[in-house]
Amino acid sequence: MPTVSELAALVGGEVFSGPGDAVIDGPAALDTARPGEISFFSHPRYAADLKTTKATAVLVPRDFAGETSAACIRVDNPSGAFTRITAEFVREPVMPPAGIHPSAVVHAGAQIAPEASVGENVVVMPGAVIGAGSVVMAGAYVGENARIGSGCLLHPHAVLSQGCVLGDRVVLHSGAVVGSDGFGYDTRDGKHHKIPQSGIVVVGDDVEIGANTTIDRARFGRTVIGEGTKIDNLVMIAHNVVIGKHCIICSQVGIAGSAQIGNYVILAGQAGIVGHIKIGDGSIIGAQTGVSNDVEPGARVVGSPPRPIGQWKRSIVRVDKLGELYDRVKALETKVGG
């Protein structure tokens, strides 16, 4: 196990209090850490936890001047340094060996690279392609003419539907469905008639798609997820949506059909995006925001309807004072005989 000094060196830090030779056996939160564990402190709201923590060592900012009984390691970015240290204690999952498990159902017309791994009870349909080094774990489904690039990982029970494409190093977590039908109906004669969904989904390189997230195939053409984008669990992305590169999309976000999301956009939890609008590059959409119109590049908006975050905060303060204002007005009306 590494010592405090060794971990400090790993992240370019400096031990300035406590024993540098103490051994660390894992990471933990400030309030639950035990002796032998390391944590981090990066926000004043956790100052009380820092004072009482039982962690052996804590990563702190360079200008830290607080109090704690733990050994302190000064670093530029405590959270980032903690992430790097945590990686030292994480055991990578054991990947299955290359080859096709005997219980897998693989059509003779599928193309599977010799270096790929196809696990227990996987179904691979005709015309599907699985690239070198990709791993398709137990119970996953690869549809007809679907394509998986190299170095991808499909966790158990992930689904890649017919014709859809994954780039290289894409991760689909359990229950993710790429290529479900878009939700489209024409109403005629009092009945809803399904609109055929003939398009596909194209996912760029280095994308990660969370558990039970669904990405609909296009009505025609493509639904697109740009390279490097990271999508949390329980996200819904509708047909013909185009998402740019290196976006962050948090849990329970819903994006309606044909919306266009730029590059480096952040959509916080439970944000809702209506269809056929554009979200500009580098914008941040706050949690539970309902976006019904285009958002300019670089904007930071929150609320429903969305407003710039500063304006939204001022509005919340004013709303909280409405009860007091109402009482004052009533008192004035009573005073003047209103």
Q: Find out whether 219 and 241 touch, Cβ atoms under 8 Å.
A: no
Q: Would residue 302 be called left, alpha or beta, if left means φ above 0 and alpha means ψ between -120 and 50 degrees?
A: beta
Q: Confidence band (pLDDT; 50, 70, 90) for 309? A: confident
Q: Given 155, 157, 173, 239, which residue is catalytic?
A: 239
Q: What is the DSSP string of 233-263?
A: SS-EE-TT-EE-TT-EE-TT-EE-TT-EE-T
Of 139, 145, 125, 269, which Cα lies nearest the Cα of 198? 145
Q: Are residues 103 and 84 in the same domain?
A: no
Cα–Cα distance measured from residue 227 to residue 206, given in angstroms and rounded to the nearest whole number: 6
Q: Confidence band (pLDDT; 50, 70, 90) for 217? A: very high
Q: Are residues 131 and 160 in the same domain?
A: yes
Single residue among 69, 89, 109 that ends a domain in this structure:
89
Q: Which two tokens stand for residue 114?
A: 């010799």
Q: Are residues 256 and 304 in the same domain?
A: yes
Give 175's Cβ-side CA count (13 Å radius). Answer: 9
Domain count of the chain? 3
Cα–Cα distance measured from residue 174 to residue 177, given in angstroms and rounded to the nearest whole number: 9
Q: Give a yes or no: residue 94 inside a domain.
A: no
Q: Are residues 160 and 47 in the same domain?
A: no
- Percent above pLDDT 70 for the chain: 100
Cα–Cα distance measured from residue 161 to residue 216, given in angstroms and rounded to the nearest whole number: 10
Q: Give a yes or no: residue 127 inside a domain.
A: yes
pLDDT given at position 103 = 97
How many Cβ atoms are within 10 Å of 307's Cβ, its own excluded? 16
Q: Are residues 317 and 302 in the same domain?
A: no
Cα–Cα distance measured from residue 311 to residue 315, given in angstroms and rounded to the nearest whole number: 6
Residue 3 confidence (pLDDT) above 90: yes
Cα–Cα distance measured from residue 133 to residue 143, given in angstroms and rounded to the nearest whole number: 19
How many Cβ atoms are within 10 Å of 188's Cβ, its own excluded? 8
pLDDT given at position 205 = 98
Reported as a single tens digit per residue, the pLDDT across 5-54 is 999 999 999 998 888 899 999 999 999 999 999 999 999 999 999 999 99
Q: Find out whether 240 and 221 touch, Cβ atoms under 8 Å.
A: yes
Q: Give a yes or no: residue 258 inside a domain.
A: yes
Cα–Cα distance measured from residue 294 to residue 301, given in angstroms and rounded to the nearest whole number: 11
Q: Give a yes or no: residue 331 inside a domain.
A: yes
Which range marks the domain in which residue 325 is found? 310-338
Count how many residues are written for the chain: 338
Span 95-102, mean pLDDT?
93
Q: Are residues 295 and 176 in the same domain?
A: yes
Single residue among 67, 89, 111 that ends a domain in this structure:
89
Of 256, 260, 253, which Cα lies nearest the Cα of 288? 253
Burial state string for 25-50 with b = 16 or more CB within 10 A and e = fewer than 16:
eebbebeebeebbbbbbbeeebeebb
pLDDT given at position 338 = 56
Of 318, 255, 326, 329, which Cα lies nearest the Cα of 285? 255
CA Rg value for the chain: 26
Single residue among 89, 113, 131 that ends a domain in this structure:
89
Q: Are residues 71 and 146 in the same domain?
A: no
Residue 116 confidence (pLDDT) above 60: yes
Q: Give a yes or no: residue 38 inside a domain.
A: yes
Average pLDDT, the chain: 95
Q: Give a yes or no: residue 16 inside a domain.
A: yes
Using DSSP's 3-state secondary structure scheme, residue 194 falls into: strand
Q: Give a yes or no: residue 270 inside a domain.
A: yes
Q: Are residues 12 and 36 in the same domain?
A: yes
Q: Are residues 194 and 286 in the same domain?
A: yes
Q: Are residues 264 and 127 in the same domain?
A: yes
CATH number at residue 28: 3.40.1390.10
Phi and psi at 305, nearest 5°, equal -70, 155
Torsion over CA: 29, 33, 38, 42 (sign): positive
The residue written with tokens 């690869």 in the block is: 142
Q: Are residues 302 and 314 in the same domain?
A: no
Q: Are residues 104 and 11 in the same domain?
A: no
Residue 254 confidence (pLDDT) above 70: yes
- Establish whether 246 is a catalytic residue: no
